[in-house]
């Protein structure tokens, strides 16, 4: 009788471990934020659980925070600002999408407190990539 109780506990623990490993591998992944590039939304050394199946269901939207593998075994955390076909530029601390200024609400407080500090250097997206639109 005691032996069957132990057997049931062992089966329960083994099933829980298998479920946890499957969830970790297929559904969620822990990630550690490395660096300051996502301030103020995410701080250096913040810990997060990343949903691994969300973008199999739908595409990311503008301003979503995403995690992607940039190099083998190195994940990056970034905010989506451009979608396919968009023209992106940054001038005088203002983001432009398709030549229209876009308010970045998540930076408003920081820009007010540090008005002389550029958060992003000026750029045109074509300067940063090898992609060139055909005329």
58 is known as an active-site residue: no
Strand, helix or coil for residue 39 = coil
- Written as one string, the DSSP assignment of 76-128 is EEEE----TT--EEEETTEEEETTEEE--GGGHHHHHHSTTS-SS--EEHHHH
Contact (Cβ atoms closer than 8 angstroms) between residue 40 and residue 106: yes
Q: How far apart are CA 64 and CA 76, in angstroms?
A: 14
Q: Which of 37, 52, 133, 134 is catalytic?
A: 37
Q: Which of 78, 111, 133, 134 is catalytic?
A: 78
78 is known as an active-site residue: yes
Task: Give me the active site residues, please.
Answer: 37, 78
């Amino acid at each position: 009788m005691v032996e069957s109780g132990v057997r049931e506990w062992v089966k329960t623990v083994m099933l829980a471990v298998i479920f946890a490993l499957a969830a970790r591998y297929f559904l969620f992944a822990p990630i550690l934020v490395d660096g300051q590039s996502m301030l103020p939304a995410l701080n250096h050394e913040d810990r997060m659980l990343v949903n691994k199946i969300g973008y199999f269901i739908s595409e990311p939207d503008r301003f979503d925070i995403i995690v992607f593998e940039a190099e083998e075994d190195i994940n990056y955390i970034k905010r989506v600002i451009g979608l396919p076909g968009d023209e992106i530029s940054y001038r005088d601390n203002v983001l432009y999408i398709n030549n229209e200024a876009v308010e970045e609400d998540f930076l408003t407080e920081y820009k007010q407190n540090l008005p002389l500090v550029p958060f992003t250097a000026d750029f045109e997206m074509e300067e940063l990539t090898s992609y060139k639109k055909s005329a």
